[in-house]
Amino acid sequence: MDDPVAILEQVKGALDHWSLEPVEIDVASQSENIVYKVTTLEGNFALRIHRPGYHTLEELNAEHEWTGALSQAGFLLPTTRPATSGEFYIPVQVNGGIRYAGLIEWLDGSAMKDQEDGEPAAELHHQQLSALGELMAQLHNHSSAWQHSVSFTRHHLDVDGFFGASPFWGRYWESPSINKDQQALLLSTQNTIAGRLKNLGKERNVFGMIHADLHQGNVFISDEKMYLIDFDDAGFGWYLYDIAVALYEYNFEEDYQTIEAAFLDGYTKHRVLTDAHRALLPMFLHIRSRAIIGWATARPELKQQALIDGLVQQTCKEAVFYK
């Protein structure tokens, strides 16, 4: 795994492209990308060093195009600061290779997962889930009507994106944690799932640009306002998958049905969700499990073997329903 402190020495000079003189630079987070909090006299910023090989420059510019459109539409998210050249991403040398650096405003507040003060935790959490459901519905309404530029390039989380020769999060069925019998089960039932996805189709009312990673850690709350962050996984996909991603971390909790109801109560205030589409949510939660197996397997540096093993067992139990 990258050492963000060592990498900082290689990339901090990139701030010259934004004409910024940092007072202090701290490591804020490290996941797909490394994020540094940059404190300056004119304000605080997040310097993002993008993971190598994850997105091309064209795809990064497409991310900016979409988030810019969301900002113009009134969605609350960190504002991107262009370099003095007008570019939004600057190539930097890291460990002998090229990565891209971008700068956005620093977001005050705290992640939704840390919001447990004031009211009883469960009541507050359900209110926030309902608010997140509303926000996602509004985002999906925007996506359904939005027209991107001709040059817009972003990955697709469709049948090929999940189950094709080169899925976006890897060939999960080849994980060393999956034995031959399990692999046979997953591949055979994958065909059933793919057929249902094709039947769902890709019309604008069901398929478009989605956040694709809207878990509690990517939802920030500041002064009772809800912000969305980290659009790194955003791409074209089914809106039902976006909902499943938001609900996935609660999927195995005893009160999941109550949690889902709170979220969907907010969602349906702004967007219709038919009974037929609601019935497909368990399948999209199942697809998310398969994707996470691929994602975690491709990142051994995260040392999540226990997570992978547990997911394989649970996913195989669910897969029998798709025979």
Average pLDDT in the 68-96 region? 95
Select from 20, 25, 23 the least CA-distant residue to 10: 25
Cα 29 off chain centre by: 15
Determine the pLDDT at residue 31: 79
Nearest to 54 by CA among 185, 231, 245, 189: 231
List the Cα angle 187/188/194 in 5-degree steps: 80
Residue 286 in this model has a pLDDT that exceeds 80: yes
Mean pLDDT, residues 149-160:
97
Mean pLDDT to the nearest integer, 43-67: 95
Going by C-alpha positions, the residue among 235, 185, 180 that lies closest to residue 207 is 235
pLDDT band at 2 (very low <50, low <70, confident <90, very high): confident
- pLDDT band for 53, please (50, 70, 90 cuts): confident
For 34, 47, 88, 140, the CA distances from 146, given in Å and listed in that order, are 30, 28, 22, 10
Q: What is the mean pLDDT of residues 234-250?
A: 97
- The SS3 assignment for 253 reads coil
Of 29-38, 166-175, 230-239, 270-279, the range with the lowest mean pLDDT is 29-38
Average of per-residue pLDDT across 51-77: 95
* Burial call 183-196: b when 16+ CB within 10 Å, e when fewer: bebbeebbeebbee
Task: Summarize the confidence of residues 266-273 as an average pLDDT.
Answer: 98
Give me the mean pLDDT over the 220-225 stretch. 87
Return mean pLDDT, the chain. 93
Percent above pLDDT 70 for the chain: 98
Report whether pLDDT(298) > 80.
yes
Name the percent of the chain in helix, strand, coil, to the closest 5. 50, 15, 35
Q: Taking a C-beta distance cutoff of 8 angstroms, is the pair 12, 22 a contact? A: yes
Q: Is 203 a residue whose pLDDT tops 50? A: yes
Using a pLDDT cut of 90, give the percent of the chain over it. Answer: 83
| Residue-level pLDDT at 118 | 47
Asked whether the beta carbons of 44 and 37 are under 8 A apart, the reply is yes
What is the 3-state secondary structure of 102-159? EEEECCCCEEHHHCCCCCCHHHHHHHHHHHHHHHHHHHHHHHHHCCCCCCCCCCEECH
Give the type of residue at 116.
E
| CB-neighbour burial class of residue 121 (10 A; exposed 0-12, middle 13-18, buried 19+) | exposed
- Whether 244 shows a pLDDT value over 80: the answer reads yes
Segment 109-134, tens digit of pLDDT? 888 877 655 455 678 888 999 999 99
Query: pLDDT value at position 47?
Result: 97
- Is the model's pLDDT at 107 over the cut of 60? yes
Q: Point out which residues pair with 98 in neighbouring strands.
A: 93
Domains of the chain: 4-106 (3.30.200.20), 111-322 (3.90.1200.10)
| Tens-digit pLDDT profile for residues 22-37 | 999 999 988 779 999 9
pTM value is 0.94
